[in-house]
Amino acid sequence: MILWGNIRHFSVFMILQLLSGFGKSGILEIEDDEEKAFIYLDEGHVDAVSLPRSDHLMGARLVKYGHVSEEEIQSVLMSAAMQKEYLGITLTKSGLVEDDAMEKVIREQTYDNTLELSNWVSGTFRFLPPSQETSFTVSASLNAQHLLLETSRRLDEGERPSKTKEDLPGDDLCASCSSGCKEIEKMKYLKADGICLWRNMPVVVREQLFTGPEKDILYEKDDAENMKDLPFL
């Protein structure tokens, strides 16, 4: 284990942006009192985002799009559970679904699962280097920055996670947050439903919104290269 902490202090999006910015590979585990999620990173790109209910939702999508029947997906789900595999891996092995169709559904699932993670405000995270390579036959392979920007856009337009988490009052959420936003940002981005858009917004968006186009970037490219091997990363 090389990086861990509390997501009340550092949001899931903050940590994901940090790891992707330095091109890290490994598994980011997020856990609260109710469930556990996994984000698989490969050189800063997001290969998959897994939540406990992901497999069933993926199966429902495949049935909805007409790629498999309900009977087929039930059989594959049972097989995946017995082999302790992810549904996508078992489906790929089965040959029931074409790779292109699987890739489309996995990408949709990755976007939606990231949206679900936006309201995780308590619990812990830890980032693990790969003890052995996690290989996906078909993966989302999404640019993490693009994934976070898209999630921020959806939140800003009023979309919300399907599963409600225990909300923290605004004062409590702000007291435990290290984003350092100002009152003008709180007024605009701290929502009554327990979602803080500012806390979950990628830094590049904050810079564009509040510092103006002539603001110097946070660090030069050479500086980022020199920081890649810091011990806590």
- Rounded mean pLDDT of 207-221? 43
pLDDT number for residue 165: 66
pLDDT for residue 125 is more than 60: yes
Whether the CA torsion 151, 157, 161, 166 is positive or negative: it is positive
H/E stretch holding 6 reads strand 3-6
Alpha helices, DSSP H only, in the chain?
Answer: 12-21, 54-64, 70-83, 87-94, 99-117, 144-156, 170-175, 183-189, 203-210, 221-227
- Rounded mean pLDDT of 217-229? 42
Where do the domains of the chain lie? 3-164
Residue from 88, 109, 112 nearest 99 by CA: 88
pLDDT for residue 29 is more than 90: yes
- Rounded mean pLDDT of 166-177? 60
pLDDT for residue 38 is more than 50: yes
For residue 104, give both structure tokens.
Answer: 């489309």
Of the ranges 20-24, 30-34, 129-133, 193-197, which one carries the lowest mean pLDDT score? 193-197
How is the beta sheet containing 3-6 ordered, strand by strand?
3-6, 124-128, 26-31, 36-42, 45-50, 142-143
pLDDT number for residue 126: 94
